[in-house]
Amino acid sequence: MRLAILVSGRGSNLAAVLNGIRDRRLPNVLAVLVVSNRPAIPALDIAARHGVPTVVLDRASFGNAGARDAAIGLAVSNSGADVALLAGYDQLLRGPYFDKFAGRTINIHPSLLPRHGGRGMMGAAVHAAVLASGDVETGVTIHEVTDELDAGPVLAQVRVAVQPGDTAEGLAARVRAVEHRLLVSTLRSLPARDSPSDLSGRMAAGPSAEDARVDA
């Protein structure tokens, strides 16, 4: 599978994927491009260290968000990617992106969608919302991306227990570690060319027992 990765910030999920490729835990994956919507973010340095080409397509360089999204779709398409991964990409992708890139686009989200998804539900806000809601568990979701935020079909989920006295930072750190493992296991079993419905069927069986465990 030829993989393009879209990022906006820290890049720990990007690093998990690129380390997985480097360590031959993802023999089926070739990272062909990293796209950022922000200049000078840590994720770009991570990509450079792994020798993956990068492009910055920031909103300020385009007349409107649709034109920027079309440029992102075109860059991904021109990279020859089969699959695009949103790994901490913090903006909605609109129709023009999907018009340019016909392959599969998937996203990783740090909660059990549909809980705590949608507008504004990013980063620390997600974990703060989980704690404020009194939920006793949260988790990680990997899902197909559509032009509706955090709403595409779920490919894989892993639960993470909320512990008494948890802070948003502590919960975020435990969830992030699970994200990295689930991302690698999901990419490892992601077929390059199957239809999305075939993929959903396959993933419904779940990742390996190790990857699917509930983190205490």
Binding residues for ligand GRF, rule: CB under 6 A, are 9-14, 87-88, 108-110, 123, 176, 179
Beta strands in the chain, from DSSP E residues, in sequence order: 2-7, 30-36, 54-56, 83-86, 104-109, 137-144, 154-161
Which of residues 12 and 200 has its CB atom nearest to ligand GRF in the complex? 12
Please, are residues 211 and 25 in contact by the beta-carbon 8 Å criterion?
A: no
Distance (Å, whole) CA 135 – CA 115 = 10
If we measure between CA atoms, which residue out of 46, 31, 13 comes closest to residue 178? Answer: 13
Minimum CB separation of residue 113 from ligand GRF in Å reads 11
Which of residues 17 and 81 has its CB atom nearest to ligand GRF in the complex? 17
Torsion sign (Cα): 191, 47, 36, 150? positive
* Owner of token pair 């990783």: 108
Minimum CB separation of residue 118 from ligand GRF in Å reads 13
Which residues neighbour 126 within 8 Å (Cβ) at sequence distance 6 or greater?
109, 110, 111, 116
Which of residues 10 and 50 has its CB atom nearest to ligand GRF in the complex? 10
Q: Which residue of the chain is nearest ligand GRF when measured via CB? A: 88
Which of residues 4 and 108 has its CB atom nearest to ligand GRF in the complex? 108
Which of residues 123 and 153 has its CB atom nearest to ligand GRF in the complex? 123
Assess whether 143 carries a catalytic annotation. no
* Owner of token pair 């199957």: 194
If we measure between CA atoms, which residue out of 47, 52, 46, 94 comes closest to residue 73? Answer: 94
Minimum CB separation of residue 63 from ligand GRF in Å reads 27
Minimum CB separation of residue 72 from ligand GRF in Å reads 16
Distance (Å, whole) CA 7 – CA 160 = 24
Pick the catalytic residue: 50, 109, 116, 180?
109
Minimum CB separation of residue 18 from ligand GRF in Å reads 11
Q: Which residues are catalytic?
A: 109
